[in-house]
Amino acid sequence: MSTAGFNSQNGTGTGQTYANGPSQNPVALQQLPGVSYGMTHQPSYNPMPAKAPPPTGPGLYPSAPYQPVPPVSSYQPGPQITSYPSSPGQPLLPRPPLSGPPSHTPPQSASPSPGPRMPPAQATPPPPAVSSSSYYPSPQQPMAPAWQYNTAPPPMGPPTSISTPPRGPVANHVNPAASLAEPLPPSLAPYSTAPPPRVSQSVTQPPGPGMPPTSMLGYTQPGTAPPPMNPMVPNTYQPGRPAYGPPPTGPSPIGPPPIMKPTPPPTGTPVANTTPPPPKGDAGLAQPGPPGRHLGHYPSLPPGYQNASAPHGTSSMHPAMQAAMQPYTQAPQPYQQPPGGPGPAQLSPSLAAMSLQSSTPEALRVVNLLQERNLLPPTPVPAPTPCLPQDLQKINCNPEVFRCTLTSIPQTQSLLNKAKMPLGLLLHPFKDLSQLPVVTSSTIVRCRSCRTYINPFVSFLDQRRWKCNLCYRVNDVPEEFMYNPVSRSYGEPHKRPEVQNATIEFIAPSEYMLRPPQPAVYLFVLDVSHNAVETGYLNVFCQSLLDNINALPGDSRTKVGFITFDSTIHFYNLQEGLSQPQMLIVSDIEDIFLPTPDSLLVNLNECKELVQDLLKSLPTLFGKTMETQSALGSALQAAFKLLSPTGGRMSVFQTQLPNLGVGALQSREDPNQRASAKDIQHLSPATDFYKKLALDCSGQQVAVDLFLLSAQYCDLASLGCISRYSAGSVYYYPSYHHQHSPAQVERFQKDLKRYLTRKIGFEAVMRIRCTKGLSIHTFHGNFFVRSTDLLSLPNVNPDAGFAVQMSIEDNLDDMQVVSFQAALLYTSSKGERRIRVHTLCLPVVSSLSDIFSGADVQAMTGLLACMAVDRSVTASLSDARDAMTNAAIDSLTSYRQSVLTIQQPGLLAPACLRLFPLYILALLKQKAFRTGTSTRLDDRVFAMCQLKYQPLFYAMLMIHPALYRVDDLTDEGALNINERTIPQPRVLQLSVEKLSREGAFLMDTGTVMYLWIGRNCHPNFLTQVLGVPNYAAVPENLYLLPELDTAESQRTRAFVGWLRDQRPFYPSLHVIRDESQLKANFMQNMIEDRTASALSYYEFLLHLQQQISK
């Protein structure tokens, strides 16, 4: 069915599917004054016979580089690795998970429900606003009105029994690959002690034989894939363990709040007093030397810290190892609380602080930040686990995909306002998943009123009816849904994969597409001005594309095209049948048109040789250009015209400020203001040209990805709009040069490879729904907001993250859980329309202490960073900085006033928020928000883009880099992945006091890694890892670890490689010495230390304390 003027056929594979789009310019059929063909040799060229092979001969290229050379080495006819990567059997990029412990954590409590509702524990009035600038609702920023949804949900009905007999075969089925994982009846033993689940879920999730196999859950675990035969082994409850103990998942701030515990555990032995005080300090591998070995001139410890930093006993086992091997029972080192005994449930947290014998949940343990120094867990901080019943938590969405800042949702907006914490979701919806259940179904079961997809958190009233968990409407179960293709049984709708998996993908039936799915279309827009040729990026780009041309995601309809531009726009006719590519130059940049609309985008499979010819000759073609101007705006307009009939992806490579034609920009940066402590200007775009063009692109399903390779100011704030509103991505390589910056070149190569071969979804929309009563009000990321809950994403890529802010419009009084559902509808590169659905379920709580105990500090930091970026663009940078500081002050004040009953001196925080001030300080010192340190405007804007666009895990590395000591790596506690041994040094605090001259330290900031070599570094490390005889011989620009055949070298390389494998982009590595220029960058990341313009961590804490006690 063709609509809206698209004359398109589907699946013909001819490459001529879109013959004449509506916006192609008929002018091109005439003789054009502004066009000159064939490198200006031939004055006239008739573009009419575009379909026929044009005459070859004079007037084409200078012949030498364009002889049709048979493809040689770069052509790889091997098996394509990008067959659809989302199908369960074919992981495209099997990566280890991003955090240590496996994600499917069982809940700590086997208690059947959050229990009887209790009134809020504290009757304290809301704390006074500490400051005027804050993110919380104020008269200037009114919250959404509460009158939108005003019907209270009906009460949950009791379940009725399942008794409908089978009714024969139905047409519904699941993908064969997904159904390979046959559920085997797991042993009942692990559940024998579990109390029966709560009523409303009992039909949906019966404990016992109905448990889904773990292999359907879709997330790999490091090295140890859970055997499908016995899926519950990692989740086994230990009978001797008190059921209400503190969270067992390592040092994470999780755990059931005290008043949610209705019953004492049946078998728990009170072990509260038996555990020694939590070991602190660097007890792990990366033990720095004694104090005398520290660098002398670095600041010593502030007095308040010294008593707390004495190292305690060393664990016999590495924490990461423990986390990997026994993730639910391990004893985390610095924050371990003894598994709580069956003490009184309402024990106040402050009592817990006074006596170590309490049973306060770990997340609410009171930490005096001024006294406890070593707050950083030795392994990456895991996400807290929502306090849900076990059966719900087990199937809940992976926190890497879907995460909420508060894992316990407050009942009312006033409660949320009192807690002073931001409420929002962080999503990574198109993340590469190694296992994803895919369902093919003729009907996709959705709620009839709110269109929610059926998910594990709905309740089945009986076998024929289910109740939506978002709007509480009762729906019928369709006949097809009664058949369960996994167990091949009838009459068990609650065992279908849709109801067993929180993340699932549907292959959409035809009613989800009113036009045929678009083919994969890639257009490359390349800057070939003098500046661009100087950087030498064209070589790298062409070579990368040649290498990966067969790995581009797509099918037989895939199309590619090329446009180059300097002061004129050059098109390339790649029509099948030509012997050489043909260059068409349009110099009329004011009124851009397409010279031959049909043959500029060609089918990749049919014209592969021409494309390869072009790529081989392109770098040399402009080698001697003297053109310095850049007409980027016109080139983008031309590219938009070319792509608008089909939609697709436009990759723009730009190396300088566009200074010609439409969209020309002026340099706005004053280098003298880079280090200014005053407000930073020019963070918002200078022109709305790029924004408007991006909207046009979004309307035609075109996404623009921007690669900026420039040494000078390029006004990313303006240029970035083109990607931001068309759901593209931005890559920035400052000071890229093919000779002077080899690390950048390597990063560019690796990024390009990933960019070209990664999965892609076209013409996508994402809708985020949430339970009635909650409402989403602000979105962060790269997209266009098409409706209040619908994001328009012309392209979606696996490296894009999103964040949303929410408010509570109606009271959630009678709900125990709320759910969020993100549904991403996209066209895969194979031309299938697919829907990926993620559902997250969270408990609702009514007391402030519960809210605090469920706070997810990393998610809060990520969301605050997004909000601060918005604030610094709309208001000012200092405003944003104040607001971030106030966020920390407000939440800690609220905690102190409302949750703590006994006031103590010091800066008190619940254990789950203990890293909050550190992260806020890290944000204040982040490139995006810092003041007083020289920061180029483009660097700053790029950091802001990344904070908004990156998934949380990568953004956290940008905010708070990880520091490891790597000169003494051992195999103790190492991970073993694919027969590689990967040592796991502990994460160190970002303070110079942790450095020592005898060591070598690796700092991982996400996109860059620094390996700092101490002056007195052990010669063994220098020779065995770096391959140099002594410290002085360490080269200045070392960016590769030599591949030496020594154990130390292998360990170090394995560790660095493992870190790199965890993320989709390629972090470059710089080996730096004390004299290196990059040492300043390294030292700037030491965020706990004082700099000339910023507070140290201790001073920041004192500042917070002062504000809080005011």
Interface map 658-687 toward other proteins (x if CB under 8 A): --------------------------xxxx
Give CA angle at 1002 (996, 1003), nearest 5°: 105
**Residue 230 and residue 138: Cα distance in Å, rounded?**
53
Q: Is the dihedral of CA 376, 382, 384, 388 positive or negative?
A: negative
Distance of closest approach, residue 994 Cβ to other proteins, in angstroms: 42
Residue among 441, 568, 698, 847 that touches other proteins (CB under 8 A): 698
Q: Which helix (H) or strand (E) holds 918?
A: helix 916-924
Q: Is 13 left (phi over 0), alpha (psi -120 to 50) or beta?
A: left
Q: Residue 1085: which of 1015, 991, 970 has the closest Cα?
A: 991
Q: Residue 11: which of 833, 835, 834 has the closest Cα?
A: 833
Nearer to other proteins, 451 or 530 (CB): 451
- Among the listed ranges 200-208, 404-412, 603-611, 694-702, the one in contact with other proteins (CB under 8 A) is 694-702
The reply to whether 133 sits near other proteins by the rule CB under 8 A is no
Helix intervals (H) in 742-839: 742-757
Contact 330, 250 (CB under 8 A): yes
- In sequence order, what DSSP letters do the residues of 129-155 get, joined into one string? P--S--SS-BTTBPPPPTTS--PPPPP
Burial letters for 69-85: b for 16+ Cβ neighbours within 10 Å, e otherwise?
Answer: eebeebeeeeeeebebb
Q: What share of the chain is helix, strand, coil (3-state, %, to 5)?
A: 25, 15, 60
**Residue 591 DSSP label:** S
> 882 in helix, strand or coil?
helix
The reply to whether 147 sits near other proteins by the rule CB under 8 A is no
Tell which positions 5-44 bind other proteins, by CB under 8 A: 6
- Among the listed ranges 110-118, 281-289, 434-442, 780-788, the one in contact with other proteins (CB under 8 A) is 780-788
- Among the listed ranges 567-575, 760-768, 1005-1013, 1074-1082, the one in contact with other proteins (CB under 8 A) is 760-768
Residue among 58, 116, 119, 142 that touches other proteins (CB under 8 A): 142
Tell which positions 256-295 bind other proteins, by CB under 8 A: none
Identity of the amino acid at 320: A
Nearer to other proteins, 565 or 762 (CB): 762
Distance of closest approach, residue 989 Cβ to other proteins, in angstroms: 38
Nearer to other proteins, 500 or 701 (CB): 701
Nearer to other proteins, 177 or 686 (CB): 686
Residue among 748, 784, 954, 1082 that touches other proteins (CB under 8 A): 784
- In sequence order, what DSSP letters do the residues of 372-418 get, joined into one string? ----S-SSPPPPPPP---HHHHHTSPPTTTEEESBSSEESSHHHHHH
Contact 105, 327 (CB under 8 A): yes
Q: Which helix (H) or strand (E) holds 174?
A: strand 173-174
* Pairing of the two strands 559-565 and 521-527: parallel
> 469 in helix, strand or coil?
coil
Distance of closest approach, residue 159 Cβ to other proteins, in angstroms: 29
Q: Residue 1022: which of 1035, 1032, 1031 has the closest Cα?
A: 1031
**Residue 594 and residue 351: Cα distance in Å, rounded?**
75
Residue among 152, 308, 662, 695 that touches other proteins (CB under 8 A): 695
Tell which positions 795-814 bind other proteins, by CB under 8 A: 805, 807
The reply to whether 149 sits near other proteins by the rule CB under 8 A is no
Contact 708, 654 (CB under 8 A): yes
The reply to whether 163 sits near other proteins by the rule CB under 8 A is no
The reply to whether 640 sits near other proteins by the rule CB under 8 A is no
Tell which positions 518-577 bind other proteins, by CB under 8 A: 518
- Among the listed ranges 284-292, 296-304, 562-570, 781-789, the one in contact with other proteins (CB under 8 A) is 781-789
Q: Residue 258: which of 250, 246, 269 has the closest Cα?
A: 246
Residue among 312, 465, 530, 786 that touches other proteins (CB under 8 A): 786
Distance of closest approach, residue 835 Cβ to other proteins, in angstroms: 9
Distance of closest approach, residue 239 Cβ to other proteins, in angstroms: 48
Distance of closest approach, residue 158 Cβ to other proteins, in angstroms: 31
Distance of closest approach, residue 432 Cβ to other proteins, in angstroms: 23
Distance of closest approach, residue 765 Cβ to other proteins, in angstroms: 4
Nearer to other proteins, 141 or 739 (CB): 141
Distance of closest approach, residue 824 Cβ to other proteins, in angstroms: 10
Contact 822, 976 (CB under 8 A): no
Q: Which two tokens stand for residue 51?
A: 């379909």
The reply to whether 185 sits near other proteins by the rule CB under 8 A is no
The reply to whether 473 sits near other proteins by the rule CB under 8 A is no
Nearer to other proteins, 192 or 684 (CB): 684
Nearer to other proteins, 479 or 696 (CB): 696
**Residue 873 and residue 493: Cα distance in Å, rounded?**
50
Residue among 64, 116, 119, 141 that touches other proteins (CB under 8 A): 141
Who's near 126: CB < 8 A, 6+ residues apart? 414, 417, 418, 894, 898
- In sequence order, what DSSP letters do the residues of 313-336 get, joined into one string? PPPSS-HHHHHHHSTTT---STT-
| Total residues belonging to the chain | 1110
The reply to whether 3 sits near other proteins by the rule CB under 8 A is yes
Nearer to other proteins, 172 or 700 (CB): 700
- Among the listed ranges 688-696, 957-965, 983-991, 1015-1023, the one in contact with other proteins (CB under 8 A) is 688-696
Interface map 821-840 toward other proteins (x if CB under 8 A): ----x-x-------------
Query: How many residues at the interface with other proteins, by CB under 8 A?
Result: 51
Interface map 503-522 toward other proteins (x if CB under 8 A): --------xxxxx--x----
- Among the listed ranges 312-320, 456-464, 692-700, 1074-1082, the one in contact with other proteins (CB under 8 A) is 692-700
Nearer to other proteins, 10 or 933 (CB): 10
**Residue 971 and residue 658: Cα distance in Å, rounded?**
52
Q: Which helix (H) or strand (E) holds 615?
A: helix 608-621
Q: Classify burial at 440, counting beta carbons within 10 Å of its beta carbon; exposed 0-12, middle 13-18, buried 19 or more.
A: middle
Residue among 546, 584, 765, 959 that touches other proteins (CB under 8 A): 765
> 439 in helix, strand or coil?
strand
Distance of closest approach, residue 457 Cβ to other proteins, in angstroms: 20
Q: Which helix (H) or strand (E) holds 620?
A: helix 608-621
**Residue 223 and residue 327: Cα distance in Å, rounded?**
14
Nearer to other proteins, 96 or 429 (CB): 429
Residue among 792, 819, 839, 946 that touches other proteins (CB under 8 A): 792
Nearer to other proteins, 778 or 976 (CB): 778
The reply to whether 1009 sits near other proteins by the rule CB under 8 A is no
Distance of closest approach, residue 556 Cβ to other proteins, in angstroms: 21
The reply to whether 46 sits near other proteins by the rule CB under 8 A is no
- Among the listed ranges 1-9, 46-54, 621-629, 937-945, the one in contact with other proteins (CB under 8 A) is 1-9
Q: Residue 182: which of 497, 529, 511, 412 has the closest Cα?
A: 497
Residue among 785, 902, 1032, 1040 that touches other proteins (CB under 8 A): 785
Nearer to other proteins, 655 or 827 (CB): 827
Residues that bind other proteins (CB under 8 A): 3-4, 6, 141-145, 451, 511-515, 518, 647, 684-688, 691, 695-696, 698-701, 718, 725, 763, 765, 767, 775-779, 784-790, 792, 805, 807, 825, 827, 874
